[in-house]
Structure 1
């Protein structure tokens, strides 16, 4: 039985029968994914996150992936400067939810692997097997300056992440072990309790470089990435599946992220997009982030650079789902056909906008056969995804 079969047999929602799985991205940070000064009732606090999670569980979403931030990016909004830490966030959310799968996002240079493995196992017990791990090497220099004085060089960052993950996996599966590597030395490594879920917590990462993709293929269950077109989505998914199997004899799925502006008419959707992105967008923050990612290039047209910044303002560079319910659903159906397992969605205002999306778009995805209707018994059944 394959690892994925074990996840499915255990009832893990990340491996259910829905062809296109859904989650949300960044409800624990100010502005969530939108680099804008537009008015919104969204607050990255516990009360708001509980409301969002309850709506998601009622609608049958699969997961929530928080953003790990230690300081803002600047700009007028100081984008993502206010942030609930993700391990404690996940523990709190685990206690007040029943079915949604939760992730901790961990910058590995900021957390010793023994501490991370123990905390994840604790949250796994609280959640009855609903916690996963999103690993990040730590790419924002000003954040890494706060912890160890400087950001590691790219390839060395993945060497560190590899050894970090090896230690976590040993803590979860072995009784006593010694480890002596380039970054960690451990004597009689031991942990109880082990994770409750089978075969272990779900692992994800968003590496897009050669080293990042290799790390994802070697260790994780989902490679997260941004898409540039439907053709790119299909090529990326095929490449990652092939890489994981040929190099490590492992199955691997892909997941992307999208931002949603859904209104009764296309005119209304476009007008709201123009309002929060073009009129009220925090272009200073977008420039800071895009320059950090090296998007500025003399080989790119002015139109490309403007669109790239608009996508970051709209939703952290995600794929834009802008239009009527029918138009948004059509784009999601096309996305599903590329082979990706799912998408995280973001809204400028989750509490105000998600109900309309759930009521008008999700039924169209069910009619298309890429998602199943939520069963009545699922609305009240306490989920247990442990092995």
Structure 2
């Protein structure tokens, strides 16, 4: 039985039968994914996050992925400057939810792998098997300077992340082990409890560079990425699946992200988009982030640069789902045909906008067959999960990763 089959058999929502899985991105940071000064009731606090999660569970969403952030990017909005730390966020959310799969986003340079593995196992127990790990190497220089003086060089960052993940996998699967590598030296490594999930918590990562994709193919169950077109989405998904299988004999899925502006009429949707992006968008912070990602004016047209910045303001560079319920649903159906497993979505105002999306778009996705209607009486993932760890399988995965690194 493959690793993915074990996840499915355990009832993990990330591996259910929905062709297009849905989650949300960044409910733990101010402005979530919208770089705007537009008014909103959204607040990145626990109370708001619980309300959002309850709506998601009732509507049948699969997951929530928080943003790991230690400081804002500046600009008038100081985008993402207010942020709930993701391990404590996940533990708190785990205690008040029942079905939704939660991810903990972790900058690996800021957390020792022994501490991370123990905390994740603790949250796994609290959630009854609903915690996953999103690994981030750390790309914002000012943020990394707060911890170790400077951001690691790109390839070295992934070498560090590789060894970090090897240690976490050993902590989850082995009883006692010694480890001596370039970055960590561990004597008699040991942890109890182990994760309750079988074969282990779901792993995701967002590497898009050559090294980032190699890391994701080697360790992750989902490669998280941004799409430039539907054709690009198909190419990226096929590439990642082929890379993971040919290089590491592993199954691999992909997940993307997008922002939603859904209104009764196309005119209303476009007017709100124009309001929060073009009129009240934080163009200063969009310029800061685009420059950081190398989207330079010298090598691109004015039209491309404007569209790129609009996309960041709209929802952190994600795909835009803007229009009527029918138009938004049609675009999501197009996305589902690319082979991608699902998309995270974001809203400017979750509490105001998500109910309309849930009531008017989700039924259309169900009618199209890309999502199944929510079964109110269906057992939750935590009820169906396998309470015993498949130690043999996870040990084999850890051993294979270690062998590949030598």
TM bucket normalised to smaller: over 0.9
Q: CA deviation at 1:300?
A: 1.4
Task: After superposition, give the CA deviation of every residue in 1:256-312 in whole Å (9 maximum; x if it has no partner).
Answer: 000000000000000000000000000000000010010114231110110000000
Q: Contact 1:178–1:189 (CA<8 Å) still a contact in 2?
A: yes
Q: Contact 1:137–1:157 (CA<8 Å) still a contact in 2?
A: yes
Report SS of the residue matched to 1:22. Answer: strand
**Is 1:183 the counterpart of 2:174 in the alignment?**
no
Q: Contact 1:19–1:336 (CA<8 Å) still a contact in 2?
A: yes
Cα distance, 1:97–1:379 mapped onto 2, change above 3 Å: farther
Q: Distance in 1 between matches of 2:17 and 2:231?
A: 24
Q: Contact 1:64–1:101 (CA<8 Å) still a contact in 2?
A: yes
Corresponding residue of 2:68: 68
**Is 1:381 the counterpart of 2:396 in the alignment?**
yes
Q: Contact 1:197–1:386 (CA<8 Å) still a contact in 2?
A: no
Structure 1 unaligned blocks of 5 or more: none
Cα distance, 1:349–1:167 mapped onto 2, change above 3 Å: same
Q: Matches of residues 296-315 of structure 1 in structure 2 within 5 Å? A: 296-315=296-315
**Is 1:200 the counterpart of 2:215 in the alignment?**
no
Q: Distance in 2 between matches of 1:34 and 1:385?
A: 40
**Is 1:234 the counterpart of 2:234 in the alignment?**
yes
Q: Contact 1:216–1:222 (CA<8 Å) still a contact in 2?
A: yes
Report SS of the residue matched to 1:298. Answer: helix
Q: Contact 1:176–1:189 (CA<8 Å) still a contact in 2?
A: yes
Cα distance, 1:315–1:379 mapped onto 2, change above 3 Å: farther
Q: Distance in 2 between matches of 1:285 and 1:381?
A: 45
Q: Distance in 2 between matches of 1:302 and 1:216?
A: 33
Q: Which moved more, 1:289-298 or 1:11-20?
A: 289-298
Report SS of the residue matched to 2:146. Answer: helix
Q: CA deviation at 1:31?
A: 0.2
Q: Contact 2:124–2:196 (CA<8 Å) still a contact in 1?
A: yes
Q: Distance in 1 between matches of 2:252 and 2:311?
A: 27
Q: CA deviation at 1:213?
A: 0.2
Q: Distance in 2 between matches of 1:378 and 1:132?
A: 17
Q: CA deviation at 1:380?
A: 35
Task: After superposition, give the CA deviation of every residue in 1:294-349 in whole Å (9 maximum; x if it has no partner).
Answer: 01142311101100000000000000000000000000000000000000000000
Q: Distance in 2 between matches of 1:175 and 1:50?
A: 36
Cα distance, 1:324–1:379 mapped onto 2, change above 3 Å: farther
Q: Distance in 2 between matches of 1:339 and 1:307?
A: 26
Q: Distance in 2 between matches of 1:107 and 1:380?
A: 24
Q: CA deviation at 1:379?
A: 32
TM-score for the superposition, normalised by structure 1 = 0.96
TM-score for the superposition, normalised by structure 2 = 0.92
Q: Contact 1:64–1:103 (CA<8 Å) still a contact in 2?
A: yes
**Is 1:249 the counterpart of 2:264 in the alignment?**
no
Report SS of the residue matched to 1:30. Answer: coil
Q: Distance in 2 between matches of 1:230 and 1:194?
A: 40
Q: Contact 2:41–2:349 (CA<8 Å) still a contact in 1?
A: yes
Cα distance, 1:128–1:84 mapped onto 2, change above 3 Å: same
Q: Contact 1:117–1:168 (CA<8 Å) still a contact in 2?
A: yes
Q: Distance in 2 between matches of 1:3 and 1:201?
A: 11
Q: CA deviation at 1:386?
A: 30
Q: How many residues align?
A: 384
Task: After superposition, give the CA deviation of every residue in 1:1-48 in whole Å (9 maximum; x if it has no partner).
Answer: 000000000000000000000000000000000000000000000000
Q: Which moved more, 1:296-305 or 1:150-159?
A: 296-305
Q: Contact 1:312–1:318 (CA<8 Å) still a contact in 2?
A: yes
Q: CA deviation at 1:385?
A: 30
| Runs of 4+ with >4 A deviation | 377-382, 384-387
- The root-mean-square deviation of aligned C-alpha atoms, in Å, is 5.0
Q: CA deviation at 1:381?
A: 34
Task: After superposition, give the CA deviation of every residue in 1:180-230 in whole Å (9 maximum; x if it has no partner).
Answer: 000000000000000001000000000000000000000000000000000
Report SS of the residue matched to 1:380. Answer: helix
